[in-house]
Protein backbone atom coordinates (compact mmCIF):
# COMPACT_ATOMS: atom_id res chain seq x y z
CA UNK A 1 0.00 0.00 0.00
CA UNK A 2 1.25 3.47 -0.93
CA UNK A 3 -0.36 5.25 2.02
CA UNK A 4 -1.87 7.84 -0.34
CA UNK A 5 -5.51 8.86 0.01
CA UNK A 6 -7.89 10.65 -2.35
CA UNK A 7 -9.80 13.72 -1.11
CA UNK A 8 -12.47 15.42 -3.27
CA UNK A 9 -12.66 19.24 -3.33
CA UNK A 10 -13.96 22.09 -5.43
CA UNK A 11 -11.66 24.82 -6.72
CA UNK A 12 -12.67 27.68 -9.05
CA UNK A 13 -16.01 25.94 -9.61
CA UNK A 14 -14.44 22.67 -10.78
CA UNK A 15 -14.18 19.36 -8.99
CA UNK A 16 -10.73 18.08 -8.18
CA UNK A 17 -9.62 14.89 -6.53
CA UNK A 18 -6.51 15.60 -4.47
CA UNK A 19 -4.06 12.80 -3.73
CA UNK A 20 -2.58 13.32 -0.27
CA UNK A 21 0.14 11.73 1.82
CA UNK A 22 -0.52 10.48 5.33
CA UNK A 23 0.68 13.85 6.71
CA UNK A 24 -1.96 15.66 4.63
CA UNK A 25 0.37 17.11 2.00
CA UNK A 26 -0.77 16.99 -1.63
CA UNK A 27 1.28 15.12 -4.21
CA UNK A 28 -1.14 15.36 -7.16
CA UNK A 29 -4.70 16.12 -8.22
CA UNK A 30 -7.11 14.83 -10.85
CA UNK A 31 -9.14 17.36 -12.83
CA UNK A 32 -12.11 15.38 -14.14
CA UNK A 33 -13.26 18.06 -16.58
CA UNK A 34 -9.82 18.44 -18.15
CA UNK A 35 -9.12 14.70 -18.01
CA UNK A 36 -5.71 15.34 -16.50
CA UNK A 37 -3.71 14.10 -13.53
CA UNK A 38 -1.35 16.84 -12.37
CA UNK A 39 1.77 15.65 -10.54
CA UNK A 40 3.68 17.97 -8.21
CA UNK A 41 6.56 15.49 -8.37
CA UNK A 42 7.07 12.62 -10.81
CA UNK A 43 8.65 10.38 -8.16
CA UNK A 44 5.31 8.93 -7.00
CA UNK A 45 3.66 8.74 -10.42
CA UNK A 46 2.79 5.01 -10.22
CA UNK A 47 1.47 5.28 -6.65
CA UNK A 48 -0.70 8.28 -7.59
CA UNK A 49 -2.24 6.47 -10.56
CA UNK A 50 -2.89 3.40 -8.40
CA UNK A 51 -4.68 5.52 -5.77
CA UNK A 52 -6.76 7.29 -8.44
CA UNK A 53 -7.53 4.08 -10.32
CA UNK A 54 -11.15 3.71 -9.09
CA UNK A 55 -11.90 7.35 -9.99
CA UNK A 56 -10.38 7.68 -13.46
CA UNK A 57 -12.85 7.77 -16.34
CA UNK A 58 -11.48 7.21 -19.83
CA UNK A 59 -8.03 8.22 -21.04
CA UNK A 60 -6.23 10.90 -19.01
CA UNK A 61 -3.12 13.00 -19.52
CA UNK A 62 -0.50 12.71 -16.78
CA UNK A 63 2.24 15.25 -16.07
CA UNK A 64 3.23 18.42 -14.24
CA UNK A 65 0.60 21.17 -13.86
CA UNK A 66 0.18 23.19 -17.07
CA UNK A 67 1.48 26.74 -17.16
CA UNK A 68 -1.31 29.37 -17.37
CA UNK A 69 -2.51 30.11 -20.90
CA UNK A 70 -2.45 33.60 -22.45
CA UNK A 71 -6.22 33.76 -21.87
CA UNK A 72 -5.71 33.04 -18.16
CA UNK A 73 -2.99 35.65 -17.97
CA UNK A 74 -5.24 38.25 -19.58
CA UNK A 75 -7.38 38.31 -16.46
CA UNK A 76 -4.33 39.28 -14.41
CA UNK A 77 -4.55 42.96 -15.29
CA UNK A 78 -4.42 43.92 -11.67
CA UNK A 79 -5.82 46.76 -9.63
CA UNK A 80 -2.94 48.31 -7.62
CA UNK A 81 -4.47 47.06 -4.36
CA UNK A 82 -4.32 43.48 -5.66
CA UNK A 83 -0.75 43.59 -7.00
CA UNK A 84 1.80 42.12 -4.58
CA UNK A 85 4.82 43.00 -6.72
CA UNK A 86 5.42 46.40 -5.03
CA UNK A 87 5.67 44.78 -1.57
CA UNK A 88 8.93 45.58 0.19
CA UNK A 89 10.85 42.91 2.10
CA UNK A 90 9.09 42.67 5.46
CA UNK A 91 6.10 44.67 4.21
CA UNK A 92 3.70 43.19 6.78
CA UNK A 93 6.11 43.90 9.64
CA UNK A 94 6.72 47.45 8.43
CA UNK A 95 2.98 48.09 8.49
CA UNK A 96 2.58 46.46 11.92
CA UNK A 97 5.42 48.50 13.40
CA UNK A 98 4.03 51.70 11.91
CA UNK A 99 0.62 51.03 13.46
CA UNK A 100 1.93 49.81 16.81
CA UNK A 101 5.57 50.88 17.24
CA UNK A 102 5.90 49.78 20.88
CA UNK A 103 3.96 46.79 22.14
CA UNK A 104 3.01 46.78 25.79
CA UNK A 105 5.28 44.58 27.88
CA UNK A 106 8.28 44.98 25.59
CA UNK A 107 9.75 48.13 27.10
CA UNK A 108 12.53 46.23 28.88
CA UNK A 109 13.55 44.05 25.94
CA UNK A 110 13.92 44.34 22.21
CA UNK A 111 10.78 44.01 20.11
CA UNK A 112 11.20 40.69 18.25
CA UNK A 113 9.38 42.16 15.27
CA UNK A 114 12.33 44.45 14.57
CA UNK A 115 14.77 41.54 14.44
CA UNK A 116 12.37 39.62 12.21
CA UNK A 117 12.14 42.68 9.96
CA UNK A 118 15.93 42.94 9.76
CA UNK A 119 16.11 39.29 8.71
CA UNK A 120 13.46 39.68 6.01
CA UNK A 121 15.10 42.82 4.68
CA UNK A 122 18.54 41.19 4.56
CA UNK A 123 17.23 38.07 2.81
CA UNK A 124 14.91 40.06 0.54
CA UNK A 125 17.69 42.32 -0.67
CA UNK A 126 19.82 39.28 -1.49
CA UNK A 127 16.97 37.73 -3.49
CA UNK A 128 16.21 40.96 -5.32
CA UNK A 129 19.77 40.93 -6.66
CA UNK A 130 18.85 37.80 -8.67
CA UNK A 131 16.49 39.79 -10.91
CA UNK A 132 19.15 40.25 -13.57
CA UNK A 133 19.56 36.48 -13.85
CA UNK A 134 15.95 35.89 -14.87
CA UNK A 135 14.44 35.53 -11.39
CA UNK A 136 11.52 37.32 -9.73
CA UNK A 137 10.87 37.62 -6.00
CA UNK A 138 7.65 38.60 -4.27
CA UNK A 139 7.88 39.67 -0.63
CA UNK A 140 5.49 39.24 2.29
CA UNK A 141 2.89 37.24 0.37
CA UNK A 142 -0.28 37.17 2.54
CA UNK A 143 -2.03 33.87 3.26
CA UNK A 144 -5.50 33.37 4.76
CA UNK A 145 -5.48 33.26 8.54
CA UNK A 146 -2.77 35.87 8.99
CA UNK A 147 0.19 33.75 7.84
CA UNK A 148 2.44 34.70 4.96
CA UNK A 149 5.26 33.57 2.73
CA UNK A 150 8.25 35.74 3.61
CA UNK A 151 9.65 35.59 0.08
CA UNK A 152 8.50 33.72 -3.04
CA UNK A 153 11.28 33.38 -5.60
CA UNK A 154 10.55 32.20 -9.15
CA UNK A 155 13.22 31.53 -11.75
CA UNK A 156 14.83 29.02 -14.11
CA UNK A 157 15.58 26.73 -11.16
CA UNK A 158 11.94 26.52 -10.03
CA UNK A 159 9.86 28.08 -7.27
CA UNK A 160 11.10 28.62 -3.71
CA UNK A 161 9.26 29.75 -0.58
CA UNK A 162 12.02 31.37 1.49
CA UNK A 163 11.55 31.71 5.25
CA UNK A 164 13.90 34.30 6.76
CA UNK A 165 15.20 33.83 10.30
CA UNK A 166 17.21 36.34 12.32
CA UNK A 167 20.40 34.68 13.56
CA UNK A 168 22.84 37.57 13.86
CA UNK A 169 26.10 36.38 15.48
CA UNK A 170 24.34 33.35 16.97
CA UNK A 171 25.07 29.66 16.81
CA UNK A 172 22.34 27.79 14.99
CA UNK A 173 21.48 24.13 15.51
CA UNK A 174 19.12 22.53 12.99
CA UNK A 175 17.52 19.25 14.06
CA UNK A 176 14.49 18.74 11.84
CA UNK A 177 11.92 20.14 12.49
CA UNK A 178 13.47 22.18 15.31
CA UNK A 179 15.87 25.11 15.02
CA UNK A 180 17.78 26.49 18.03
CA UNK A 181 19.36 29.94 18.14
CA UNK A 182 22.05 30.33 20.78
CA UNK A 183 20.57 29.54 24.19
CA UNK A 184 16.97 30.08 23.12
CA UNK A 185 14.52 27.21 23.22
CA UNK A 186 14.22 25.32 19.90
CA UNK A 187 11.22 26.06 17.70
CA UNK A 188 9.67 24.06 14.81
CA UNK A 189 10.85 26.51 12.16
CA UNK A 190 11.30 23.90 9.43
CA UNK A 191 7.70 22.78 9.89
CA UNK A 192 6.58 26.36 9.29
CA UNK A 193 8.78 26.63 6.20
CA UNK A 194 7.33 23.44 4.75
CA UNK A 195 3.77 24.53 5.54
CA UNK A 196 4.26 27.85 3.71
CA UNK A 197 5.70 26.05 0.68
CA UNK A 198 2.79 23.59 0.68
CA UNK A 199 0.25 26.40 0.67
CA UNK A 200 2.12 28.15 -2.13
CA UNK A 201 2.10 24.90 -4.14
CA UNK A 202 -1.65 24.66 -3.68
CA UNK A 203 -2.27 28.28 -4.72
CA UNK A 204 -0.01 28.16 -7.78
CA UNK A 205 -0.67 24.51 -8.73
CA UNK A 206 3.08 24.06 -9.09
CA UNK A 207 5.81 22.54 -6.94
CA UNK A 208 7.28 25.08 -4.51
CA UNK A 209 10.42 24.16 -2.57
CA UNK A 210 10.89 25.38 1.03
CA UNK A 211 14.07 27.24 1.96
CA UNK A 212 15.22 28.42 5.38
CA UNK A 213 17.49 31.47 5.02
CA UNK A 214 19.53 32.34 8.13
CA UNK A 215 20.45 36.01 8.39
CA UNK A 216 23.99 36.52 9.73
CA UNK A 217 24.64 33.41 11.83
CA UNK A 218 27.98 32.92 13.57
CA UNK A 219 27.90 29.16 13.05
CA UNK A 220 25.45 26.63 11.63
CA UNK A 221 25.26 22.96 12.57
CA UNK A 222 22.81 20.58 10.91
CA UNK A 223 22.41 17.22 12.65
CA UNK A 224 21.01 15.53 9.51
CA UNK A 225 19.83 16.75 6.10
CA UNK A 226 16.35 18.23 6.70
CA UNK A 227 13.44 16.68 4.83
CA UNK A 228 12.81 18.69 1.65
CA UNK A 229 14.06 21.99 3.15
CA UNK A 230 17.19 23.69 1.94
CA UNK A 231 19.01 25.54 4.75
CA UNK A 232 21.23 28.42 3.59
CA UNK A 233 22.82 31.59 4.90
CA UNK A 234 21.79 34.91 3.41
CA UNK A 235 25.23 35.28 1.82
CA UNK A 236 24.66 32.04 -0.13
CA UNK A 237 21.29 32.90 -1.67
CA UNK A 238 23.01 33.90 -4.90
CA UNK A 239 23.60 30.17 -5.47
CA UNK A 240 19.94 29.87 -6.47
CA UNK A 241 20.82 31.72 -9.67
CA UNK A 242 23.14 28.87 -10.61
CA UNK A 243 20.26 26.38 -10.71
CA UNK A 244 18.26 25.98 -13.89
CA UNK A 245 16.72 23.57 -16.32
CA UNK A 246 13.31 23.51 -14.62
CA UNK A 247 11.36 26.48 -15.99
CA UNK A 248 11.57 28.24 -19.34
CA UNK A 249 11.55 32.07 -19.35
CA UNK A 250 7.92 32.12 -20.50
CA UNK A 251 6.96 29.79 -17.64
CA UNK A 252 8.74 32.04 -15.13
CA UNK A 253 6.86 35.09 -16.37
CA UNK A 254 3.50 33.29 -16.36
CA UNK A 255 3.93 32.00 -12.81
CA UNK A 256 5.14 35.38 -11.61
CA UNK A 257 2.05 37.02 -13.13
CA UNK A 258 -0.18 34.55 -11.31
CA UNK A 259 1.66 34.81 -7.99
CA UNK A 260 1.57 38.60 -7.83
CA UNK A 261 -2.27 38.58 -7.87
CA UNK A 262 -3.56 38.77 -4.28
CA UNK A 263 -6.63 36.79 -5.36
CA UNK A 264 -4.49 33.77 -6.20
CA UNK A 265 -3.82 33.27 -2.50
CA UNK A 266 -7.35 33.73 -1.20
CA UNK A 267 -8.23 30.02 -0.97
CA UNK A 268 -4.91 28.39 -0.14
What is the percent of the chain with per-residue pLDDT over 90, rounded to a whole number? 65
Helices (H), the chain: 45-52, 70-74, 91-99, 112-128, 189-204, 249-259
Mean pLDDT of 230-238: 95
Mean pLDDT of 243-250: 85
Each domain of the chain, given as residue ranges in start order, spans 4-62, 70-265
Left if phi > 0, otherwise alpha if psi is -120 to 50, otherwise beta: which for 132? alpha
Amino acid 193: pLDDT? 97
Measured from the Cβ of residue 109, the count of other Cβ atoms closer than 10 Å reads 7
CA gap 120, 114 in Å, rounded: 10
Amino acid 200: pLDDT? 97
Mean pLDDT of 148-173: 96
pLDDT digits (tens, 9 = 90+) for 22-73: 877 889 999 888 899 999 888 899 999 999 999 998 899 999 887 766 656 6
Amino acid sequence: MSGLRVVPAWRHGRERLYVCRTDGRNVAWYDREAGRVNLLSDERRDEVLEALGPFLTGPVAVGPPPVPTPAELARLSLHPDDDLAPNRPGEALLIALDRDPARQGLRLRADPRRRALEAEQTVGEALDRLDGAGWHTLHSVPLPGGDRVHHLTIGPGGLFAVHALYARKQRVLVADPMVSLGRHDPEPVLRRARAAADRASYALTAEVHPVLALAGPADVRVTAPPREVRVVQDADLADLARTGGVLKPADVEALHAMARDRGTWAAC
